[in-house]
Amino acid sequence: MSAGSPAKTGRRTKAEQRAESLEQILDAAEYLFSQRGLNGVTLRDVAQRVGVHTTLVHYYFADKRALFDEVFARRAGVTSGRRMEALERYEAEAGDHPTVEGALHAFLDTDLDLYMTGGEGWMNYAQFGARASHTREGGELMDIHFDPVVLKLVGILKRALPDYADEDIFWGYHFVTGALMSTLARTGRIDRLSGGLCRSDDFEAVKKRIAKFMAAGFVALKDIK
């Protein structure tokens, strides 16, 4: 290096520092919301977990609801996008002969794989989403971020079960998403009930069973009078 060349300091730019601060705030809020829900967390709680002053959190977010919405949206596009791609790929491969189990594998396995391989942040988001789904605020966000991929799944299921009433298809999806949210919540109840035989964080065990189990439920709905 010549005497006149500027030395590289390795310092981050202000934009990089802001991006890092924002990610830290979102990570902290994601964890806290996953444990306590929207009403159990304050912006002060988030600031304390990050180790910053509350004014910094207010700099990025006008209020707690704005932070909650951003935590929800940050990963929603990833999981909904991956599932949409998986469903479209399955639809193309299945052609005129889609099956309920095949469609459910595309929808459920893709999501479970993401949580299993995505690290602690994604597991926190799974728990956060499960808790949020049972609230008015979370339900509104589910409508915004997940309706397209859910309706894609429903469309394939209708083609797989052409003789079924639309009502039964939607009830079937309702039961599927209930089981998925119960899994993502990781309450530990199945651990206690089974005496440790089953673990609520064993998503691999869930993945082996849930699509087949739910597909059988759809088939059984044909006998509903």
Residue type, 122: W
The pLDDT value recorded for residue 223 is: 75
Q: How far is CA 185 from CA 2, 13, 68, 118, 123, in A?
A: 59, 38, 17, 16, 9
- Terminal CA-to-CA distance of the chain, rounded, Å? 83
Structure tokens at 120: 């602690």
Q: Is the separation of the CB atoms in 191 and 200 below 8 Å?
A: yes
Q: What pLDDT, on a 0 to 100 scale, did the predictor assign at position 6? A: 43
Report CA dihedral (196, 201, 207, 208) to the nearest 10 degrees.
Answer: -20
Enter the DSSP assignment of 51.
Answer: T
Start-end of H helices in the chain = 14-36, 43-50, 54-60, 64-94, 100-104, 110-117, 120-132, 136-160, 166-185, 189-193, 203-220
Residue count of the chain: 225
Look at residue 29 in the predicted model and tell me its pLDDT: 98
So what's the pLDDT on residue 225? 67
Mean pLDDT per 10-residue interval, the chain, length 225 residues:
48 84 96 96 97 95 97 97 98 97 98 96 96 94 97 98 96 97 96 97 97 96 79
At 111 the pLDDT is 95
pLDDT computed for residue 155 by the predictor: 98
Backbone phi, psi, residue 43, to 5°: -65, -30
- The one-letter code for the residue type at 119 is G
For domain 74-223, the CATH class is: mainly alpha
Q: How many CA atoms lie within 13 A of 203 on its CB side?
A: 23
What is the C-alpha separation between 104 and 145, in angstroms, rounded?
19
Confidence at residue 2, expressed as pLDDT on a 0 to 100 scale: 43
